[in-house]
Amino acid sequence: MWMHKLDVMKKNSWWYFLSEVIKLGRLPFLGAGLILYATGAVLAGIGKAPAPAQFIMGYAIVLPAHLSVSYSNDYYDFELDNPEAATAYTGGSGVLQRHPELRGFAWKFAVLLISVSLTLAVIYTIIYRNPAVLLLAVAGNLLGWFYSAPPARLSYRGFGEVATALTGFIFPAMGYSVIMGVIDTSLILFSIPIMLLQLVFIINVEIPDLREDLLGGKMTFPVRMGVRASRRVMALSAAAATVALGLLEFSLHFDPGISFPLIALLSLTVTVPCIYYYLHGPDEVNARGSEVVMNSLIAFGVLDLLYLISVLVMQ
């Protein structure tokens, strides 16, 4: 039925349908979730025996939950998204604007993915007797769904930034808890700078969408406070994350082989462009600046993960 609605005249129409479903999922965003999850897992794994089965099954819980957000967001933001104003990181996939008949599929597929995630979380909890994973899975799925879905509609009511910042705890916590078995002080301390960087991420991707969000009544931080104030918060949050990472060196809760000053130095890949675009960037929307900051966040995530892996391997 879906294929007939899309384009019965197309050759290889099943492939066309599949390609549109994949585009709707915005798969590149999964990479960021994997980096955060793996970072938490590697942090927990330093000084412990490897647990590949737990790591794989844990990510099998995270993957569908994270993927569901793209489908539910595009469904609930259908009236708001403007494909012509979209960038590589913002504005939705544009698939539902091309094929509005797929809206029902997007909603049902999001629900299916959430169901898969929660089912696997229950199975994991039974097998490994680790309730922390189930609690995190429930919290993460609820947060992802109600980011755009009623009645909460967090992103429309000015809570989207808080919700996204919390993912800086949930993603690493999932990875950490599947290896360590608990959520402890080390994880909480480590997640503070990550949450600050997730705040940078969400405000950064909200800036290019300012016009569409304003017209659609989506009360994001840039809509409420403007571009200049948004870039100020990004710069302050990134700088605070760098300082927080450096201060972790004085904590006794981490393996002494981890050099947090080095991780703090790596985080300057984010802090420097944030400060630069606050001091020198235009007060209006600058998609190029947002793209640079996004790439810097990805670069830090990869470098941080690679460094922690090196510590794990060398222990």
Q: Which residue's entry shows tokens 């606050």? A: 278
Which pLDDT value is given to residue 65? Answer: 97
What confidence category does residue 83 fall into, taking pLDDT thresholds of 50, 70 and 90? low
User: How many CB atoms sit inside 10 A of residue 298's CB?
Assistant: 18
Q: What is the pLDDT of residue 71?
A: 93
Separation between Cα atoms, residue 68 and residue 137, nearest integer Å: 13
Determine the pLDDT at residue 10. Answer: 52
Average pLDDT over the chain reads 90
3-state secondary structure 132-168: HHHHHHHHHHHHHHHCCCCCCCHHHCCCHHHHHHHHH
Say if residue 3's pLDDT is above 60.
Answer: no
The answer to which of 49-63, 92-106, 146-160, 270-284 has the lowest mean pLDDT is 92-106
pLDDT in tens, 146-187: 999 999 999 999 999 999 999 999 999 999 999 999 999 999
| Whole-number percent of the chain with pLDDT over 90 | 73
Q: Is the pLDDT of residue 91 over 50?
A: yes
Which residues of 230-305 form beta strands (DSSP E)? none
Half-sphere exposure (CA, 13 Å, Cβ side) for 14?
0
pLDDT at position 59 over 70:
yes
From the CA atom positions of the chain, what is the Rg in Å? 20
Q: List pLDDT tens digits, range 299-311.
A: 999 999 999 999 9
- Please give the Cα distance from 197 to 233 (Å, whole number): 11
Q: Please tell me what DSSP assigns to residue 130.
A: -
How far apart CA 57 and CA 307 sit, in angstroms, is 24
pLDDT recorded at residue 24: 87
pLDDT in tens, 178-218: 999 999 999 999 999 999 999 999 999 999 988 888 888 89
Please give the model's pTM, rounded to 2 decimal places: 0.91
Which of 1-5, 55-59, 235-239, 262-266 is predicted with the least confidence, judged by mean pLDDT? 1-5
Task: Please name which of 293, 138, 267 lies closest in space to residue 206, comparing C-alpha atoms.
Answer: 293
In the predicted model, is pLDDT for residue 84 greater than 70?
no
At 9 the pLDDT is 42
Confidence (pLDDT) at 6: 52
* 89 or 207, greater pLDDT: 207
Give which of 155, 135, 136, 134 is closest to 145, Cα–Cα: 155
- What would the pLDDT profile of 232-287 be if each residue is shown by its tens digit? 999 999 999 999 999 999 999 999 999 999 999 999 999 999 999 999 877 777 77
